[in-house]
Structure 1
Amino acid sequence: MFVSNLLRSFIVTTRNKSLKSGAEQLYITKSPLSRRIKILEERLGCNLFLRGRDGVDLTHEGKELYDAISRYYDELTLLENHFMNKFTPANKPARSSHGYSISIEHCLHDCLSNLTHSQLRVISQLIYRDFNNEITQELLSGELDIIISNKELQYDKSEIAIASYKTATINIVKPKIKPLSQKSIIIPATLLNILDRTDINWRQELKKNLEDIDEAEVIITPEIKNHLSSIERGEVIGLISSQSLKPTDCKLNNIILCPLVINQHSVKIEIKIYFLKKRERIIEEFISVLVSSWFFVKE
C-alpha cells in the first residue's frame, strides 16, 4: 500500500470532520481510528485535532499538515488504486462491484462534502485530485466511473457524456451590526479557484453587494471558520459556499449569511459530471439520487 493507515486515517477524519463518520468510511470502529490518530500525534509531537461535542476540527499544526500533504495523498491514492486494479488476478475483483468509483476536482471538496458523505453506500471509491489533461482514457479504463469538476475538461465526445448542474450557493459572511470599517475580504483558497474560473468579474460584483467597501484586500485562507470572531467584530467579511459553513458552525450570534447576488441572481457553483455514454442509463440513476438529495439545478 502506498499510503499508510495512519496518514489515511488523518485525511479521512479531516475530510469527514468526525471520528464516527471517518471510521464508517474506513470500515472500522471509532476506537481503532482514535488510536491511529493518537499514534500519529505522538510521532509528530503535536495535537492534530480539537475534539468537540459536534466533531473534530484541525489545530494549527493539523491544518499545516493537511495543506501540505492532501494533494499528494490523492495522487498516491489514485496510483495505489491503479496498480491494485492492474495486478489483481482476473478472478478477484480489485474493488467492490457495488457502487461507483468517483473522482472529484480537488477544489470542490468543501462544496460537495455533504453530498459524498450522504452517498457513501453507493460510492466504492472516492478520490480528490486536479484534472489538467484529457480524461477519456481514465473513464475508458474502468478506473473511474464518474469525474466531477467545475472545469470544462477535454474528452472524446463520441465516448463521453456530460451533465451540468448548479449546486452550492456562494454566501457572504458578515456581521449583523453594521461595522465602522471593513478593509479585508477572507476567502478559502478552494472557493477562490472556483470563482476565478467563472466568466464574471466577481471582485467588482462583490463591491456592489457591499456598499461600505470601495477597495478591499482579498485574504486567502485554508479555513474561514477560524476567522468568525474577526467577522463578528466587523474587521473582515468572508466568502464561503453554502455547504461549507453549517448553521451549527456559526455559534456566534452576531454573524449572518447572505447570498452573493449578481444580476439579481444568487451565484451558484456549477459542476460538470463526466461519464461513459455506454453507461449513461446506469450513471443517470446515480445522478438522479444526487439531484433528489441535493436539489441540483440542471443546466
Structure 2
Amino acid sequence: MLFNLIVLAIGLLRGAESAGWQLVWSDEFNGSGGPNDGEWSYEVGGGGWGNNELEYYTSHNTGNARQEGGHLVINARVQEEGGRHFTSARLTSKKSWTYGKFEARAKLPKGKNLWPAIWMMPKDSKYGGWAASGEIDIMEARGERPTITQGTIHYGGSWPNNIYSGSGERNFNKDFTADYHTFAVEWDQNMIRWYVDGQEYHRENINRNMWSGKGANPYNHNGAPFDQGFFWILNIAVGGNFFPQNVYGPPVTPDEARRWEKPSMEIDYLRVYQWK
C-alpha cells in the first residue's frame, strides 16, 4: 500500500513538472534590416482602414519598419505617400494560433494622434466579415496619454451589427513610452485575460453565445468566434476615429507631427506559449 502511494505521488509530481506554459513560437528581432520575410507580411495602403486614419502603410525598405539593436522599430513619419501626409507600417504574422499566452514586450510612441496597437485577427473569416469572426486587441494606446492602455475584443456580427467589450482605458501610472513593458493575453476556451507586466487587469468570459442580438446570428455554439486561429498585427496608426475631436481637438497636422516627442514603437520580443 505504501509503495503504491509513493508511486502515485511520484507520478503526480512528474505530471506537475511537465504541465505549464510551453513556448511554441517567438520572434526576438535580433536580425538587421526589415523583419523576417519568413514570419511577417506588410499590409500596404491608405484609405482609412475603416477608422478614418490618416497614414499610408508602406512595404519593405522604406524606413517605417526595421530591426535594430535587438528590437523591431515601427516609425510613423511625416511623409507624402498615396495622397496621405503620413506613413507608417502595419505587419501581420504568417503563423496563427488557437488559444495560448501571447506576450509582447514593447515601448510605445508619444505624440498627438499616434495610435500604437498590438492585436490579433482571425486567419479565416469563418463566421463572416468583420467583426463576426472576432478581433483581439492585446494593447491599444493613445500617444497623448502615455500612462494609459486598454484591451478589447470585437465580435457579435458583421458590421454594423458588431459589438465590443473590454477594459476601457486603464491608467497604470507608468510611462509606457519611457521604458519597455510586457503586454499579454491568456486565451482559452472559457476566458480571455489581459495583463500588464504580469498583473491581470481585465478578463472577458467567452464561454457564451457572443451574438450581438442584431442581424442574423453567425454563431451556433458557445465560444465562437474565439475558437479559431488568430495571427499577430503590429502597427502605429495616425489619427482616426480613436481620437474624437470633442476630446482631442482637430486631427494632427504635418507641422504638429514634426514635433512628435517619440514617433516610434519598439518591440523587444513577441512570444507565444501553449499549455502543456
Task: Give the TM-score, by structure 2 length.
Answer: 0.27
Higher relative contact order (CA 8 A, sep 6+): 2
Q: Quick check: which one's strand share is greater?
A: 2
